[in-house]
Amino acid sequence: MSPSWDVTVRTLDAEALQPAHGRGPSGLPYRTHGLDVVALGGDRAPRSGQDRTALPWGVMRILIIGGSGFLGTELVRQAAAAGWETAATYCSRPGGGSGASWHRLDVRSAGQVDELLAAVAPHAVVDATSGGSDWAVTADGSFHVAAAAAKVGCRLVHVSSDAVFSGARVHYDEACLPDPLTPYGAAKAAAETAVRLLSPAAAVARTSLIIGDGGSAHERMVHALAAGTRDGVLFTDDVRCPVHVQDLARALLELAGSDRAGMFHLAGADALSRHRLGVLIARRDGLDAARLPTGRRADAPVPGALDVRLDSSATQEHLRTRLRGAPEFLHVR
């Protein structure tokens, strides 16, 4: 039986959670209720005629933590294209493209994080760092970013994961508390708790498998398996709600430009197994889907959640960005 990680979330008195400045980037006040923070007068404009390049919010200075990663690269591209003054961080190598200033950052160093936020003075920070199961990066690093954002009084959007859930209840909405099975899930759950305690006006956004137009880890794996250049299987019993990186980045920037606070789910509209997702990717890319080997996570020696479906319906009601399902954004059925 897989171990379960005990992550405690404590509800504090509202006064203890009141942010230092009490106002978001648009100058609107916050009202706190324990760990659930309600932003007054947030952006509630209806969704229509969505343009996936242009962003409808005013010019601002934004800092993307983890800007050289897969999601970070798209965040930088969209923010710069929108005319936002964009700064981004990297660990070993700056990201490509233009329109952003690049800063080397080790999030494990609280001092480095403090110095960078003081120097950049962003209106908003999106923390898209991915440290896997490395606690010092994924948990402690997120703590350092949240603490620094609280010090300078800027907006914070923290990217979390469906890995915080065990799959025991299958369907998870924004109110569900973490019950992770893996070290990575435990680190992400600890990061969520740190962010919500240190920066209660922040938005914490859980997401799922992130897919693009060929550049994601899952897409590369599908190509390698179809070509027979790597070992492995695609699980038929491991179900998630994949999201396109463009949709996810745009939704995160929409949150960054709003005053909405609390927990948000940003996952695709459709639940698919990893194998089914692989088949759709293979069809899109003209590969032989029959060459994709199958297996069951339940039979694998490595623990992990089986069926985790993020319910994003409550979040979607307040977003202009529409979170498409995999069959739609892969253009196959």
Q: Residues 178, 238: contact at Cβ < 8 Å?
A: no
68-95 CB burial, b ≥16 within 10 A, e <16: bbbbbbbbbbbbbebebbbbbbbeeeeb
**What pLDDT is attached to residue 58?**
58
**What pLDDT is attached to residue 130?**
87
How far is it, in rounded angstroms, from Cα 272 to Cα 276?
6
- For the chain, residues with pLDDT lower than 70 are 1-59, 333
Nearest to 147 by CA among 101, 188, 116: 116
Residue 143 CB coordination number (10 Å): 19
283 in a structural domain: no
170 in a structural domain: yes
Residue 325 CB coordination number (10 Å): 17
* CA distance readout (Å), 38 to 129, 189, 226, 260, 322: 26, 21, 47, 7, 22
Nearest to 276 by CA among 234, 245, 241, 313: 234
**What pLDDT is attached to residue 125?**
98
11 in a structural domain: no
75 in a structural domain: yes
Quote the domain boundaries for residue 183: 26-46+58-210+245-269+310-324
How far is it, in rounded angstroms, from Cα 171 to Cα 256?
26
159 in a structural domain: yes
Counting Cα atoms < 13 Å in the Cβ hemisphere of 205 gives: 26
Question: How do 234-235 and 262-266 pair as beta strands?
Answer: unpaired
141 in a structural domain: yes
* CA distance readout (Å), 293 to 90, 226, 296: 35, 8, 11
333 in a structural domain: no
pTM attached to this predicted model: 0.83
Q: Residues 236, 294: contact at Cβ < 8 Å?
A: yes
116 in a structural domain: yes
**What pLDDT is attached to residue 302?**
82
Nearest to 318 by CA among 124, 64, 38: 38
Number of domains in the chain: 1
**What pLDDT is attached to residue 57?**
55
Nearest to 238 by CA among 285, 297, 187: 297
Q: Residues 138, 167: contact at Cβ < 8 Å?
A: no
CATH assignment of the domain containing 31: 3.40.50.720
In sequence order, what are the beta bridge partners of 171?
309
